[in-house]
Amino acid sequence: MEFFLTLVHFRHFSSLRYEVMAMLLGKKVGMTQVYDELGKLVPITVIQAGPCVVMQVKTTETDGYNAVQLGFDEVKPVRRKNPQIGHAQKANTTPKKFIKEMRLADDAEQPYEVGNSVTVSVFAEEEFVDVVGTSKGKGFAGVMKRHGFGGFPASHGTERKHRAPGSISSFASDAGHGPGPKRGKKMAGHLGNCRVTTKNHKLVEIDEEKNLLVVKGSVPGPAGCYCIVRSAKKVQ
């Protein structure tokens, strides 16, 4: 709580942008709110980002493309298979729960070596970040909740069909292609639990001692879920 009480001002950043993208793996801690310089209450999300270990460095010569593989959050070796344990030992570390790659341009120089530790300091010169996570799973949902359908009239004449999807297929709706439902038809089904990217989060604060990133707004997923934080690709 002491950390949250100290977040009363936004940081000032320069408009300088870098070609090399910064990226970290992290875990969503939760949401809170702080006051900005104008005294306006702003919602923020706290993310425990890193430290991440460079598990592997991929190059065009060896793998066909340039990339840096990062690992986050240690796990007991007994809970991983031998190939995963051996892969981690090459980086002189223990197996990780969350492993993702940061793709680099074909002509880019490798910024890291195997075994390096990447911390929140890589975002020191960043102003906006994109966050990739998995949205909350909400089970099987109808068309009104999943797609925002208006439903049937709630007045006289409609009986036990208020939330029904209506007609889903016919010969007349797409003549010449058969009576089956058309590709992409919005129907009831699984809602949530999918990859979601939220863009252009204002980077409010960086706590290098506790490996915390504080970003403006909400990020996908529940508290405790894994996420990817990277430099914003299209700053608005």
**pLDDT tens digits, one per residue of 203-217:** 999 999 999 999 999
pLDDT tens-digit map of 100-151: 999 988 888 888 889 999 999 999 888 999 999 999 999 999 999 999 999 9
Which pLDDT belongs to residue 173?
67
How many domains would you assign to the chain?
2
Q: How far out from the chain centre does Cα 119 lie?
A: 18
Q: Are 110 and 39 contained in the same domain?
A: yes
Domain contains 201 = yes
pTM for this model (two decimals) = 0.80
Of all residues in the chain, what percent carry a pLDDT higher than 70? 90
Q: Are 14 and 121 contained in the same domain?
A: yes
Q: Are 69 and 124 contained in the same domain?
A: yes
Rounded CA separation 84/96 (Å) = 9
Q: Which of 145, 153, 131 is nearest to 225 (CA)?
A: 131
Rounded CA separation 22/16 (Å) = 14
Enclosing H/E stretch for 104 = strand 96-104
Helix, strand, or coil (residue 221): coil
Residues 6+ positions from 85 with CB-CB distance below 8 Å? 77, 95
Confidence of residue 156 (pLDDT cuts 50, 70, 90): confident
Domain contains 236 = no
Rounded CA separation 231/22 (Å) = 5
Which pLDDT belongs to residue 111?
85
Rounded CA separation 12/234 (Å) = 20
Q: Are 82 and 179 contained in the same domain?
A: no
Q: Which of 130, 129, 135 is nearest to 195 (CA)?
A: 135
Range of the domain at 201: 2-138+195-231
Q: Are 186 and 100 contained in the same domain?
A: no
CB atoms within 10 A of CB 66: 19
Q: Are 34 and 92 contained in the same domain?
A: yes
Q: Are 134 and 144 contained in the same domain?
A: no
Which pLDDT belongs to residue 109?
83
Domain contains 33 = yes
Rounded CA separation 16/4 (Å) = 28
Domain contains 122 = yes
Q: Are 31 and 122 contained in the same domain?
A: yes
CATH number of residue 69's parent domain: 3.30.160.810
